[in-house]
């Protein structure tokens, strides 16, 4: 009797798959999700700029042709008028690069003038006659003394001092009481010897 019950129960268990997960007893597999992230296309800004310029130029030509056609110009006259218009437009368009160069040149000239003024004020401290200082300044390498449009006083003094180390004769001549002979640069009292020395300096520097 028990064997008959088991025989009747077996087909039911086989149909259930033993686990209730489907005919083969396996969980369904999900398909792998594709990469949903779309890659951003590369942007060529140079190409875009050229396209915009070309479009604007074409629109400008179209507008000019329409205008000159209304004025009753022939095709040849129209071409000449458009060329003349563009030439005049180019003349009136400011040259940004030239403006920037001019501004930089003016800034540098102003900086050099300020630096020369400060250098002249250092003459007495360095023991150099005021008349001689322009020559010292001309010989000095003052590039390091300028920092972002400002003047570094210490570096300016160092640059002038370097010239005096190389050419100590540029320092003011000692007085008669202090002078003990040897090379003498200039002469006290504005004598003819002093004038001759100034003339020699001017000739040497092309002044």
For residue range 148-192, list pLDDT tens digits in order.
Answer: 778 888 999 999 999 999 988 888 766 555 455 554 455 444 444
* pLDDT band (50, 70, 90) for residue 142: confident
The pLDDT, as a whole number, for residue 176 is 55
Q: Percent of the chain, pLDDT > 90?
A: 10
For residue range 71-107, list pLDDT tens digits in order.
Answer: 888 888 888 988 888 888 888 878 888 888 999 999 8
Number of domains in the chain: 2
Domain contains 112: yes
Domain contains 6: no
What does the H/E/C string look like for the chain? Answer: CHHHHHHHHHHHHHHHCCCCCCCCCCCCCCCCCCCCCCCCCCCCHHHHHHHHHHHHHHHHHHHHHHHHHHCCCCHHHHHHHHHHHHHHHHHHCCCHHHHHHHHHHHHHHHHHHHHHHHHHHCHHHHCCCCCCHHHHHHHCCCHHHEECCEECHHHHHHHHHHHHHHCHHHCCCCCCCCCCCCCCCCCHHHCHHHHHHHHHHHHHCCC
Range of the domain at 82: 62-93
Domain contains 200: no
> Are 147 and 103 within one domain?
yes
The pLDDT, as a whole number, for residue 159 is 92
Last residue of a domain, one of 75, 93, 111: 93
Domain contains 167: yes
> Are 107 and 164 within one domain?
yes
> Are 109 and 156 within one domain?
yes
Q: What is the pTM of this model?
A: 0.44
């Amino acid at each position: 009797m028990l064997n008959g019950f088991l025989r009747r129960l077996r087909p039911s268990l086989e149909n259930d798959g033993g686990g209730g997960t489907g005919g083969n007893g396996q969980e369904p597999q999900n398909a792998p999700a594709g990469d949903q992230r779309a890659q951003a296309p590369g942007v060529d800004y140079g190409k875009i700029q050229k396209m915009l310029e070309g479009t604007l130029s074409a629109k400008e030509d179209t507008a000019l042709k329409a205008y000159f056609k209304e004025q009753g110009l022939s095709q040849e006259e129209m071409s000449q008028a458009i060329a003349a218009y563009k030439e005049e437009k180019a003349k009136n368009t400011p040259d940004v690069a030239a403006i920037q160069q001019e501004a930089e040149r003016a800034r540098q000239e102003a900086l050099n003038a300020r630096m020369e003024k400060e250098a002249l004020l250092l003459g007495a401290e360095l023991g150099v006659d005021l008349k001689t200082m322009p020559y010292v300044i001309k010989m000095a390498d003052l590039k390091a003394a300028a920092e972002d449009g400002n003047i570094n006083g210490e570096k300016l003094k160092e640059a002038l001092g370097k010239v005096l180390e190389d050419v100590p004769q540029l320092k003011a001549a000692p007085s008669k009481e202090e002078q003990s002979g040897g090379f003498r640069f200039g002469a006290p009292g504005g004598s003819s010897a002093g004038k001759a020395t100034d003339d020699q300096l001017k000739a040497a520097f092309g002044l």
